[in-house]
Structure 1
Amino acid sequence: MAIDRADLHSHTTASDGLQQPRENVRMAKEAGLAAIAITDHDTVDGIAEAIEAGKELGVIVVPGVEISTAANGSDIHILGYYTDWQSESWRLKLGSLLQTRDRRNLMIIEKLRNLGISITLEEVVEEARKQGKEGGTIGRPHMASLLVAKGIVASIQEAFDRYLASDGAAFANPPRLHPFEAIDWIREAGGTSVIAHPGLYGDDVLVEEIIRHGAQGIEVYHSDHGPEDEIRYIRLAEKYKLIITGGSDYHGKREEEVFHGPIGNRTVHVDVLKQLDPARRGSL
């Protein structure tokens, strides 16, 4: 049992995950984890429920968020831990990002339609509802599920490879927050900023620029990182004295596919929480 381990990256129905927040906590308990972070895209709405479940189950819940940004034409995600997630001003800032996500959804759907694929936003919302999602954000995984259901593709992975990933035929990227701004936002909200899954960007020059701007950590261990990625980013963390984090990036299981990986398949020692929590960092 991994009683000293923490999975610091997971998503719930508050954004584009399939499980309710308390379910992520339950799965962390079953995996023998000491802690689980709730890091939904551009929202902190799932944290309260997860914390309550954590108290019941004896699992530490780390309040987090994954902020969607863009730079050099690519999506870049910045994780924020231990922000003042109950602050109304912080929630309003994050709410402005959700509007950008909504615009992107419409742009992707329009591109799919131009490719001859019949799809509507209403169908995507209904597909999400069938998966147990009520309210919250709609994202690319929901579109991928619908493409599978319609027989356009055979799998979630094929949907992303052909249409939805950054090099896919229907990818869209409206103007977004810059990673530097996300780091500033997280600092102003009292939190700790971490670059999410840097191996997915294919641009380590940009990753270093983001670090030099003030990112405090880097997600070395991720479901989509291989051993070479881990070695490269450990060295980068050592060079810049960054906090090393890791997590599954769990979104749930669709069509028997786990996206990106199951809870607990990438972890770090629970002591990393002391580094991430500004209230505890000074005592180290």
Structure 2
Amino acid sequence: MSRLAPSARIDLHVHSTHSDGTESPAQVVGRAREAGLDVVALTDHDAVSGWEEADRAGRERGVAVVPGLELSCSAAGASVHLLGYFVDPTHPALLEELGRIRGSRDDRLRRMVDRLAEAGFPVSWEEVLGQASAGASLGRPHIADVLVLRGRYPDRDAAFADVLHSSSRFHVAHIAPDPRRAVELVRSAGGAAVLAHPFAAARGRGVPRELLGDLVEAGLAGIEVDHRDHDGAGRELARRLASRHGLLPTGSSDYHGSGKPNRLGEHTTQPRVLSALLERTGGQLLGASP
């Protein structure tokens, strides 16, 4: 493992066009360099397909890249997001689960598009596909982008506050694994699991406290503390729980390009935390040496 400088600036949660970001992995890495980051983690939803491009860009731009992904899970009616770092991208059980989730995502999205079109909204399946890169993990943001392009909403947030909200009559659920199983899956693939933005009130119901205990027992490695969607109380709670359960506290931007107002490096992770993740997994950074 390359030694991380104490001053290294690290952002452990960003998205590209391989899921619902608006920039390619290479563009994201370039933006990370411009933002003064030394290390960035590519964590696309249910996808590892952007790692190779990010690796090449990192070597060219002098940025180290953490290979990661984000799994959308569900438990007791709560949406739970799990970040997995340094997993083996060829692990059979992981690939099978990602394929199952992505297939469900595609079917769910097509049904939502049909419902919206029947109600008179200017959107078609072909247009949604046109908003995503080839092989991308599809999601509601791709529908939002079509509705914004057609002038129905000013931005993604406005579309999500209305027809794309989880309580909307147009909403269709997709397969979401139990987070305990997801933690075990990440670990079996050689990676480390970190709970993402668990107390983001604007996203709906927060992660139940009792579930956190179950995730710790399953092998959870860390918890995202510093995140735009956590208010002061949420950050303090996450920090206390990290200390109580021996979890690694991370910080990140959850950058999506122009899809969200989040800015690269607006929250960062301490080098000692990334070092601990590397030691725990035996993982290797992609891109340049930090």
> For 1:1-284, what aligned pairs fall within 5 Å after superposition?
3-87=7-91, 90-113=94-117, 115-126=119-130, 128=131, 133-200=133-200, 201-205=205-209, 206-254=211-259, 259=260, 261-277=262-278, 278-279=280-281
Q: Which deviations, in whole Å up to 9, do the C-alpha atoms of 1:94-138 show, x marking residues without a partner? A: 222211111221232244345442432112112x05xxx333222
What percentage of aligned pairs have identical amino acids?
A: 38
| Distance (whole Å) between structure 2 residues aligned to residue 27 and residue 203 of structure 1 | 31
TM-align CA RMSD: 2.2
- Match of 2:242, as an amino acid? A
Asked if the contact 1:14/1:40 (under 8 Å) is kept, the reply is yes
- Distance change >3 Å, CA 243–CA 165, structure 1 → 2: farther
Compare 35-44 and 78-87 and name the one that shifted more.
78-87
Q: Which deviations, in whole Å up to 9, do the C-alpha atoms of 1:199-250 show, x marking residues without a partner? A: 2342433444433433221111112222221111001111111011121111
Asked if the contact 1:16/1:41 (under 8 Å) is kept, the reply is yes
- Distance change >3 Å, CA 95–CA 221, structure 1 → 2: same
Say which SS state the counterpart of residue 218 (structure 1) adopts. strand
Asked if the contact 2:41/2:67 (under 8 Å) is kept, the reply is yes
- Distance change >3 Å, CA 246–CA 177, structure 1 → 2: same
- Match of 2:249, as an amino acid? I
- Distance change >3 Å, CA 83–CA 30, structure 1 → 2: same
Compare 206-215 and 240-249 and name the one that shifted more.
206-215
- Match of 1:231, as an amino acid? E
| Distance (whole Å) between structure 1 residues aligned to residue 166 and residue 213 of structure 2 | 21
- Distance change >3 Å, CA 169–CA 276, structure 1 → 2: farther
Say which SS state the counterpart of residue 163 (structure 2) adopts. helix
Compare 71-80 and 59-68 and name the one that shifted more.
71-80
Q: CA deviation at 1:260?
A: 5.1
Asked if the contact 1:82/1:191 (under 8 Å) is kept, the reply is yes
TM-score, normalising length: structure 1: 0.87
Q: Which deviations, in whole Å up to 9, do the C-alpha atoms of 1:157-214 show, x marking residues without a partner? A: 1111112233344332133211111111101100001111112342433444433433
Work out the number of aligned pairs and report it.
272
Say which SS state the counterpart of residue 27 (structure 1) adopts. helix
- Match of 1:274, as an amino acid? S
Q: Which deviations, in whole Å up to 9, do the C-alpha atoms of 1:139-168 show, x marking residues without a partner? A: 111111112222322321111111223334
- Distance change >3 Å, CA 144–CA 3, structure 1 → 2: farther
| Distance (whole Å) between structure 1 residues aligned to residue 215 and residue 119 of structure 2 | 35
Structure 1: segments with no counterpart, 5+ residues: none
TM-score, normalising length: structure 2: 0.85
Asked if the contact 1:161/1:168 (under 8 Å) is kept, the reply is no
- Distance change >3 Å, CA 159–CA 69, structure 1 → 2: same
- Distance change >3 Å, CA 52–CA 159, structure 1 → 2: same
Asked if the contact 1:12/1:40 (under 8 Å) is kept, the reply is yes
Asked if the contact 1:54/1:61 (under 8 Å) is kept, the reply is yes
Say which SS state the counterpart of residue 253 (structure 1) adopts. helix
Say which SS state the counterpart of residue 4 (structure 1) adopts. coil
Say which SS state the counterpart of residue 171 (structure 2) adopts. coil
- Distance change >3 Å, CA 3–CA 172, structure 1 → 2: farther
- Match of 1:167, as an amino acid? S
